Structure 1
Amino acid sequence: MRARKPALLLAEGTHGVNLLILLLRRSRGTVALAVCFGLLTGAASAGLIARINAVLSSGGTLVDRATVLGFAALGALMLGSRIGAQLLLTRLQTSTTFALRDQLSQRILATPLRQLEELGNHRLMATLIDDIQAVTQGLLCIPPLLIHSGIIVGCMTYLAVMSRMVFAALFIFATLGVASYLLPMRHIMGLLRHSRQTNDRFFRDLRSLTQGLKELKLHGGRRKAFLKQELFPTAEMLKQLQVRVSTLHTLTTSWSMSLFFFFIGLLLFVLPGVAPVSASTLVGYTLAVLYLQQPLEASMTLLPMLGAGTVALRHIDTLALDPAGTASEPLLSGAEEAPAPPSRIDLVGVTHAYRREGEDTPFTLGPIDLTLRPGELLFVVGGNGSGKTTLAKLITGLYAPESGEIRVDGRPVTEGDRERYRQLFATVFSDFHLFDSLLGLAVGEKTDKARAYLERLQLQRKVRIEENGKLSTTDLSAGQRKRLALLTAYLEDRPVYLFDEWAADQDPQFKEVFYRELLPDLKAAGKAVVIISHDSRYFDVADRLVRLESGAIVSEESAAGSQQLSPRVVPA
């Protein structure tokens, strides 16, 4: 069944997009209808105030059947339109939040791996957790804000009709109040942006805390330095920023709201001595201003949350993730089966440069000329930092070559078909991730095959595979987890297999099984197999052995003989 492509909520280049625009992109009609309901709520509220004012000014003599029915009708209209606006916008907000989360997940998957690695896991996790939460809370503010806006517009219209002179005075006070609120809000928005940047550092420190537990527990000095120099200062800065935002907003809101009481004092004690004002006008304005306090105060309380949501939305945009719309087809409805096995894959003059941590100059891999053939075991060896894993990511299409090209049966792999090219590979990288489920790989007849592989990998007493492909546990030793990852690779049944230091965590007995039994079996099945390894005692298994040094292939040995290559010289 074809998955429905979500509406593109964050288009490419939409810097400064705000939450209301996000809702409009989702459904303009729903927002327009909700605004109409909000205006109806405001009109009904103004009508109720007018009725109350009329009754109070008459001393209760206007209380007849028509007045009561009119009051009840206005009350029902206000209630119905308020509920209608709230329901419409709440449902739209909920669907927009989940669509945004889904689309963000797709955009992450569509973005080149190198770009994601440069952003860092801590920034991605902060976005997926905090930014989405802030956007959700910001979207939740929009329904009441629109309803409050309708009430404010309705009441202000009523007051303008009642007395233009008094309304002019109210308008001056309202303008002063809005200005005294918006000016500090600019500073608050700056603090929110600073807080969001600090939050990235806080997530980085939390990642160091969770991933460095063993090191921190074993060394009291490092633990103390980490807490005092890294985690606690960042947390303290985040706390101070949040306190400043809260304090500044409280002072600003309190001052702005106090202006309305100043206006009521001016209205009751000063204005009658300056110009003739009827008692009904005084009562009407007093009632309306007091009634307006609740929606105004609520709006001011919600605006910082709306601002935080806008900051989070802009932060998502600054990640420069690839638009989901350009890649949702292969992500959602790409072929589950691998393309036909190729007769050869060639890397021709392929290079890739990147900056390694702690180094000023970029590291360049290549130019690389290499061929993969079915039924062949290719070992890639070399020292740490020689570029083996980078080469593996180039071979598998996770990195795009900066120059040169990859060819499948002589046909160059373009950006448009790189996704399909990646389906040729089953891999177990050194930093692999083990899912809690086999994700559709153990369905029907494959379930029995999966259990057979489980037994061959000597995991049948540790792990069970349920009917839905869920694994009973992944809480295993490092070596056993790698065997479980190998099971997944087996079930994928791709034309090309790549193992990055797979045997590093295996005991001697299972290393022997891997090199002497499992790899030859894959070769006999016609698979092209690339093995990154330091296990020199098993190099005799290789059909070809490629040695890397400083990003260059310096030698290539095969069963038929060896070829010594001149090291590549990288221009300064």
Structure 2
Amino acid sequence: MSLLVLLLRRSAGAVALAVLCGLLSGASSAGLISRINAILASGGGLVDRGVVLGFAGIGVLMLGARIGSQLLLNRLQTRTTYELRAQLSKRILATPLRRLEELGTYRLLATLVDDIGSLTQSLLCIPVILLNACIVLGCLAYLAMLSRVVFAALLVFAALGVTSYWIPTLSMMRTQRKARETNDRLFRDFRSLTGGLKELMLHRERREAFLTRELLPTVAELRGLQTQVLMRHTLLTSWGMSLFFFFIGLMLFVLPGITPVSSQALVGYTLAALYLQQPLDSIMTLLPTVGQGAVALRHIEQLELGEAGTQGLPSAAGPHEAPASVSRLELCGVTHTYLRDGEGTRFTLGPIDLAIHPGEILFVVGGNGSGKTTLAKLITGLYAPESGEVRLDGKPIGEGERERYRQLFATVFSDFHLFEALLGLASADLADRARGYLERLQLAHKVEIDASGALSTTQLSTGQRKRLALLTAYLENRPVYLFDEWAADQDPAFKEVFYRQLLPDLKAAGKAVVVISHDDRYFDAADRLVRLESGALVTDRSAPATSRAAS
């Protein structure tokens, strides 16, 4: 039912028109059965020309209505599928980063690939089910007019048949939900497989343990659940089809002994039962697919993603434009608490009081797990503080201003993603400016950029890929730059370039620069250095001038 509601929300008018065509098709089908029954009851022989023309007219009407209904619903389905994919992508972008991290990449991938696929297939089934349901309703209306006694018997038999079919179907849907949960684990294992190829290939025991304890048991469990679903579906479909013949047998051999029934009614009901076999078989065959779609839709809803809107796809105009410069950026008593992955303990960063100024290089240092990257995400607005305020030029940043605030930053995080093109940076001289930066980053011999901003390759070493990410940050030309362990994968010569040339150039351009680093050899490159220990800011001092001179 929720899938039908989804279709109705998209276009109630189109659904109503399609259902109207379907009802017309069902009425035409009932009319054809009525004409056939009347001809058989009359003993056949020569048929009046008007009867033939009437039969042909009803057949053409049935064909046209069926095609019209199918085309309308198919068009609605494809449009709904497109809108669903687009909306889900926007909702992911509108969801707080912390929530997405809690869900895990593998769940999001399973949703984008598996759930959207299931929804698409189920939406494909709905037009067929609605059309066949209209045919069934039309035939039932004819049967009700043909004989009330036999129709009453049909209703009793149908109620028993639907009950015997639906109760096992509910159990099958529970199995489908369990299979969907198992599929999440399978995507997690696939991610481990693809991300840990080198580690698995280099350690036989690890590889065997991963296969026997992680991947293969999940695959086997999913196979077992899917086998159960298919087996129950086969049994239910076979049982549903056999009900037709049980009803015909009861009608022909049992019902006449209970109450008088005309031969015309018996022939009409037999014809209708045989005719209804195909549409009902189609409905029963497609119901499990619709059930999978319902499970997928429920799973998407349980993700609690954000609502698509200006956050998901913000406009580039007016109030969404970030200021070209910043006078002062402050964190005032900011805290953030989260559950450490795999540890089951809660970690609290803060309270943090920190000011960031343009034309200044700020280093954030500290041990692993001290909260440096979390602090970076709070600074850039990717995390919302649980208490305290982030202030821009003295004004607090509320939830409504967070999207605009994030446009202040050009970043390269340690887990950065490199796109295949310089997206969102279109300008007349983009390629020329990019080539100039490529020369400076010592990548001109490796990468070419065409006029549209497409990169010739991203298949580079990690250090070179980070330089390409730095190229993107340069071209963004934002007021604040943040680098999270950017130099960790660079060779010693380019580390020197980064700390002694690139950072001072950004400072000279009036940019505020925040650098998370473990390179204590270059701490003197900072104007100010803050140290984190277990989530607490323990020092905030200027880099000693003697250290700069010594370097």
TM-score per shorter chain, which class?
over 0.9
Give CA-to-partner distance per residue, 1:295-354, whole Å, 9 cap, x none. Answer: 111100111111110110011000001111363462676878542311110111111111
What is the CA distance between 1:275 and its match in structure 2?
3.2
Q: Which amino acid aligns with 1:439?
A: L
Partner residue, 2:336: 352
| 1:103-114 equivalent positions in 2, closer than 5 A | 103-114=87-98
Q: Which amino acid aligns with 2:276?
A: L
State the distance in 2 between where 1:284 and 1:345 align: 82
Partner residue, 1:339: 323
Report sequence identity in percent. 70
1:553 aligns with 2:523: no
Partner residue, 1:567: none
Give CA-to-partner distance per residue, 1:472-514, whole Å, 9 cap, x none. Answer: 1100000000000000000000000000000010011111111
- What SS does structure 2 have at the residue aligned with 1:183? helix
1:374 to 358, 374, 382: 358
Assess if the C-alpha contact under 8 Å between 2:314 and 2:320 holds in 1.
Answer: no
Give CA-to-partner distance per residue, 1:38-79, whole Å, 9 cap, x none. Answer: 111110000000111111121224611111111111111111
Q: Which amino acid aligns with 2:245?
A: F
Distance of aligned partners of 1:390 and 1:328 in 2 relative to their CA distance in 1, 3 Å threshold? closer
What is the CA distance between 1:175 and its match in structure 2?
1.3
State the distance in 2 between where 1:146 and 1:523 align: 65
Partner residue, 1:275: 259
State the distance in 2 between where 1:155 and 1:124 align: 45
Partner residue, 1:47: 31
1:24 aligns with 2:8: yes
1:437 aligns with 2:421: yes
1:194 to 178, 185, 188: 178
Partner residue, 1:459: 443
| 1:64-213 equivalent positions in 2, closer than 5 A | 64-213=48-197
State the distance in 2 between where 1:556 and 1:191 align: 57
Give CA-to-partner distance per residue, 1:342-390, whole Å, 9 cap, x none. Answer: 1110111111111112334311111111111111010111110111000
| 1:123-522 equivalent positions in 2, closer than 5 A | 123-325=107-309, 327-328=311-312, 330=314, 338-522=322-506
What is the CA distance between 1:560 and its match in structure 2?
6.7
State the distance in 2 between where 1:241 and 1:495 align: 54
Gaps of 5+ in 2: 547-551
Assess if the C-alpha contact under 8 Å between 1:48 and 1:75 holds in 2.
Answer: yes
State the distance in 2 between where 1:107 and 1:85 align: 32
State the distance in 1 between where 2:281 and 2:169 align: 15
Assess if the C-alpha contact under 8 Å between 1:501 and 1:533 holds in 2.
Answer: yes
Q: Which amino acid aligns with 2:5?
A: I
Assess if the C-alpha contact under 8 Å between 1:106 and 1:331 holds in 2.
Answer: no
Q: Which amino acid aligns with 1:380?
A: V
- What SS does structure 1 have at the residue aligned with 2:355? strand
Q: Which amino acid aligns with 1:537?
A: R
State the distance in 1 between where 2:93 and 2:318 align: 13
- What SS does structure 1 have at the residue aligned with 2:177? helix
1:59 aligns with 2:68: no
Distance of aligned partners of 1:560 and 1:501 in 2 relative to their CA distance in 1, 3 Å threshold? closer
State the distance in 1 between where 2:17 and 2:535 align: 61
Q: Which amino acid aligns with 1:271?
A: L
- What SS does structure 2 have at the residue aligned with 1:404? strand
State the distance in 2 between where 1:379 and 1:87 align: 62
Q: Which amino acid aligns with 1:74?
A: I
Gaps of 5+ in 1: 1-16, 563-572
State the distance in 2 between where 1:297 and 1:414 align: 56
State the distance in 2 between where 1:462 and 1:511 align: 19
State the distance in 2 between where 1:428 and 1:336 align: 22
Assess if the C-alpha contact under 8 Å between 1:173 and 1:260 holds in 2.
Answer: no
Give CA-to-partner distance per residue, 1:243-280, whole Å, 9 cap, x none. Answer: 11111121122112212101112222333344332222
State the distance in 2 between where 1:550 and 1:301 align: 58
Q: Which amino acid aligns with 2:249?
A: G
State the distance in 1 between where 2:338 and 2:25 align: 59
State the distance in 2 between where 1:213 and 1:247 align: 36
Q: Which amino acid aligns with 2:112?
A: L
What is the CA distance between 1:444 and its match in structure 2?
0.9
Assess if the C-alpha contact under 8 Å between 1:264 and 1:286 holds in 2.
Answer: yes
Give CA-to-partner distance per residue, 1:386-436, whole Å, 9 cap, x none. Answer: 110000000000001111111111111111101101000000000000000
Assess if the C-alpha contact under 8 Å between 1:427 and 1:497 holds in 2.
Answer: yes
Q: Which amino acid aligns with 2:442?
A: Q
Assess if the C-alpha contact under 8 Å between 2:157 and 2:247 holds in 1.
Answer: yes
Assess if the C-alpha contact under 8 Å between 1:55 and 1:62 holds in 2.
Answer: no
What is the CA distance between 1:118 and its match in structure 2?
0.3
- What SS does structure 1 have at the residue aligned with 2:443? coil
State the distance in 2 between where 1:466 and 1:456 align: 18
Q: Which amino acid aligns with 2:278?
A: Q
Partner residue, 2:549: none
State the distance in 1 between where 2:310 and 2:443 align: 41
1:543 to 505, 527, 539: 527
Give TM-score scaled by structure 1 length.
0.93
1:34 to 9, 18, 28: 18
